[in-house]
Amino acid sequence: MPARNDPQVYARRLRAVLISSIPVLEARGIVIVLMAGMVGVIAGVLVTGMSALVQGMHYLLFDVQPGGRLSAMFSLADPVQAMFPAIGGLLLGLSVIWLRKRKFRTPVDPIEANALYGGRMSLTDTFIIVAQTMISSGFGASVGLEAGYTQVGSGIASRLARAFRLRRNDVRILVGCGAAGAISAAFDAPLTGAFYGFELVIGIYSVANVAPVMAAAIAASLTAEVFGGVPFPLELSGLPTLTASEYVPFLLLGLLGGAASIAIMHLVSIVEGLFVRLSIDASVRPFIGGILVGLLGLVTPQVLSSGHGALHREFAMNYALPVVASVFVMKLAASAISLGSGFRGGLFFASLFLGALLGKVFAGVMALTAPSAGIDPAVAAVVGMTSLAVGVVGGPLTMTFLALESTRDLTLTGVVLAASIMSAILVRETFGYSFSTWRFHLRGETIRSAHDVGWMRSLTVGSMMRKDVRTIPASITLAEFRKEIPLGSGQRVIAVEQADQYVGMLLVPELHSDLSDGATPVSALAQFKDAVLVPSMNVQTAAETFQRTGAEELAVVEDFDERIVLGLLTESHLMRRYAEELDKARRDLSGEG
């Protein structure tokens, strides 16, 4: 019997009170909205606290004054400060050794949790990622805090949802609310946060999701303002009015941003692969990466940390084309080295900064080659910022709203959205991944978005197969088969050797109509000898096997080596079960039932 002061007991009682007060809604509707608002408040507090702690680390380590930014410095106050990224890498390496000894698995992030586990996230994973992200950014590695922000917001939301024992889709929605609140608080941009939740974490925009996600985003933004969160405005003035005919160069910039994002993702993988080929242990890689990033920081601190200050400097000042291009190359190298060597963080803000630099380079080149085009550098910077970030992060509407809420300029919305869509199409058609899903791909996962495919993995061959299958020795003759299995007694029989080892599938009508000699062993007439299923296969893999072999039914064996027959699965039954589960998942997403 649980103790009276058990938190789970209180959670169950509170849930019962809430649900009984509005029995028709059954933990949906206003209850989900209220919980989403609570998640937003928590996310706002935690994001503000994490940001303040990292700023405090920058003050202690790099002498960054209150209100200043590390990447906005023109130079390091002391060359010794270039050692701090390496020290941070050393601390991360020690954490890798500690986690390895305790056999911790790879932490699950919000996208993976919603795609595979119905929104279930571990608070242990959450705190590990948060701590490692703060160490990475706090010691100057070229990574952003957004991965830590969304992890803590979603992790807390997942734990809260599971404490109230909400159903699978409600948990997924609250996880998206946590991520939406985190991004909203980080940028003081509720619409950006909301569409981050829709496009990247929940995986779908629906009317049923609008109220909770917006409640979380607005609550997080207001909470961050109350607790002194720093907003993210880009002060732009005197921007030209753009007509549709002037969109063409910016559409080209959108394509360039998409291509650059693909190159960046590949570069991170190349750096990571280089460390592997050099047989450098994972606990040592961050230290080596920190040394390289520190050397780049000696050239310009703009490459350090996430790049908030550097981005604002880029919009406030007009640097020469060679300077902008060189900063782009160094920031790209610093980010790839940081992530490839094992620093924890993401490319969210780095992609914004790199995109702004790419836009400035594009404007500079156009001014030299086609001055009549009249490309405004500030507009090009905003378009480049969003189009490159769309390719890396995903979510064209997310980045369009970020541009709108950060610049407060509606005139940019059309061209930014158009360029973002061009970038998204290019990346989707030629590459197919964002940075997060690309990392999953490198780990062997097949996740391309946050759409819930976890139910598909739980729908296995073992759960769908028939066990009452008829077998017959493969050594008997055709005449003996016809005598033992008369026409009309069944459609198929499985031929086996000793100990029920699979030989092939025997189709009863075909064997009765076969003109072979009656002394022919049935093993010679068996079909699909090399095509079998195993119980652990999911519905997608099984369907691909049916399509590849052209079979209507396949035997299920214990494993591919021994091939002991366990049952039978027909393609029609598999597709019917798949359609039923898909229909149920769609009803959950639309808020029905």
Query: pLDDT tens across 526-560, in order?
Result: 888 888 999 888 777 888 888 888 888 899 998 88
- Cα separation, 399 vs 496, in Å, equals 59
> In terms of pLDDT, which residue wins out, 177 or 551?
177
Span of 348-357, 359-368, 414-423, 538-547 with lowest mean pLDDT: 538-547
- Cα separation, 246 vs 380, in Å, equals 12
Considering 22-31, 43-52, 308-317, 340-349, the range whose residues carry the highest mean pLDDT is 43-52
- Cα separation, 122 vs 100, in Å, equals 17
The percent of residues above 90 in pLDDT, for the chain, comes to 43
Q: Are 205 and 162 in contact (CB under 8 A)?
A: no
Considering 197-211, 214-228, 242-256, the range whose residues carry the highest mean pLDDT is 214-228
Angle between helix 248-277 and helix 348-369 axes, rounded to 10 deg: 130
3-class SS of residue 453: coil
In sequence order, what are the beta bridge partners of 565?
Answer: 557
Segment 488-506 mean pLDDT: 85
How does pLDDT run across 2-59, given as a tens digit for each residue?
Answer: 444 555 554 555 555 444 443 433 445 788 899 999 999 999 999 999 999 999 999 9
Residue with tokens 């190359």: 329
Indicate if the pLDDT at residue 342 is higher than 50.
yes
pLDDT at 488: 78
Q: How many CB atoms lie within 10 A of CB 296?
A: 22
- Cα separation, 582 vs 169, in Å, equals 13
Q: Are 391 and 426 in contact (CB under 8 A)?
A: yes
CA distances from 20 to 16, 36, 77, 593 (A): 6, 19, 62, 18
pTM, two decimals, is: 0.77
Phi-psi region of 550 (alpha: psi -120 to 50; beta: other; left: phi over 0): left
Segment 138-162 mean pLDDT: 93
- Residues near 191 by Cβ (< 8 Å), separated by ≥ 6? 217, 401, 404, 405
Span of 132-146, 256-270, 579-593 with lowest mean pLDDT: 579-593
pLDDT at 355: 95
- Cα separation, 396 vs 382, in Å, equals 14
pLDDT confidence bin for 208, thresholds 50/70/90: confident
For the chain, counts of helices (H) and of strands (E):
24, 5
pLDDT confidence bin for 229, thresholds 50/70/90: confident
Residue 242: both structure tokens together: 């753009």
Indicate if the pLDDT at residue 109 is higher than 70.
yes
